[in-house]
């Protein structure tokens, strides 16, 4: 029984997902904000994000293979690319949903554009924008399972090994762990969203 490898694979799985999400946030937040500032840019960014949402995750992981080879780096880059669209779409949606009146009131109170953005726009846009992060997180944890096919490790390794060695226990435990990670992250971020809503 090779269940004692599981903790290392869980750690690897979370590292893959968290690195990808950090990159996706670093790229997706400014892109989403920029999209709300110019109609032309918004058209391009949202069209690309729309296409990005439709691409099969296995295909995106595989398309980088000829250029970046196998391993952790291409897997993180591919997972980040997959996580950017939901973040960009929801940041744009959140900011555009902020009422004109609230922004005008802030201007009337003499706030600078930076103050207006950090004190009015961000808090009002946060609930909607947070949904995208939640979607991206569960999807990234799920897609990270496929990273095993380009040699990046994670719990996908254990599922594949369980299948290849016909080890049903390993397979079920590894599958349940990925599902628990994805569901757990979804529930935790859902609870965080409710807490934010109550504190507003």
Say which residues have a Cβ less than 8 Å from residue 58's Cβ, sequence separation at least 6. 146, 149
Tokens of 144: 């990270």
Contact characters 118-157, other proteins, x per CB under 8 A: --------------------x--xxx-xx--x------x-
Shortest Å distance, C-beta 63 to other proteins: 5
| Listed ranges 30-38, 63-71, 100-108, 124-132: which one lies at the site for other proteins (CB under 8 A) | 63-71
Shortest Å distance, C-beta 64 to other proteins: 10
Contact between 6 and 174 (Cβ < 8 Å): yes
- String of DSSP letters for 128-154: HHHHHHHHHHHHHHHHGGGGGGGT--S
- In the block, tokens 């000829």 appear at 66
| Listed ranges 41-49, 100-108, 182-190, 191-199: which one lies at the site for other proteins (CB under 8 A) | 182-190
Shortest Å distance, C-beta 175 to other proteins: 4
Per CB under 8 A, the list member of 2, 44, 51, 188 interacting with other proteins is 51
d(CA 56, CA 17): 17
Identify the CA nearest to 155 among candidates 83, 75, 87: 75
Binding site for other proteins (CB under 8 A): 51, 53-60, 62-63, 65-66, 138, 141-143, 145-146, 149, 156, 159, 162-163, 168, 171-172, 174-176, 178-179, 182-183, 186
């Amino acid at each position: 029984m090779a269940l004692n490898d599981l903790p290392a694979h869980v750690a690897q799985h979370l590292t893959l997902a968290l690195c990808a999400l950090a990159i996706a946030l670093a790229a997706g937040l400014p892109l989403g904000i920029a999209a709300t500032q110019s109609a032309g840019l918004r058209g391009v960014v949202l069209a690309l994000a729309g296409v990005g949402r439709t691409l099969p995750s296995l295909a995106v992981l595989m398309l980088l293979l000829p250029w970046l080879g196998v391993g952790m780096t291409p897997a993180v880059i591919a997972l980040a690319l997959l996580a950017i669209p939901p973040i960009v779409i929801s940041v744009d949606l959140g900011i555009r949903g902020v009422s004109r009146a609230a922004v005008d009131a802030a201007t009337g109170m003499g706030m600078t554009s930076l103050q207006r953005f950090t004190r009015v726009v961000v808090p009002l846009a946060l609930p909607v924008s947070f949904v995208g992060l939640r979607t991206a997180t569960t999807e990234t944890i799920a897609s990270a399972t496929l990273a095993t096919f380009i040699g990046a490790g994670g719990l996908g390794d254990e599922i594949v090994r369980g299948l290849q060695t016909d080890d049903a226990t390993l397979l079920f435990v590894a599958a349940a762990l990925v599902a628990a990670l994805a569901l757990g992250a979804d529930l935790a971020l859902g609870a965080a969203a409710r807490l934010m809503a109550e504190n507003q």
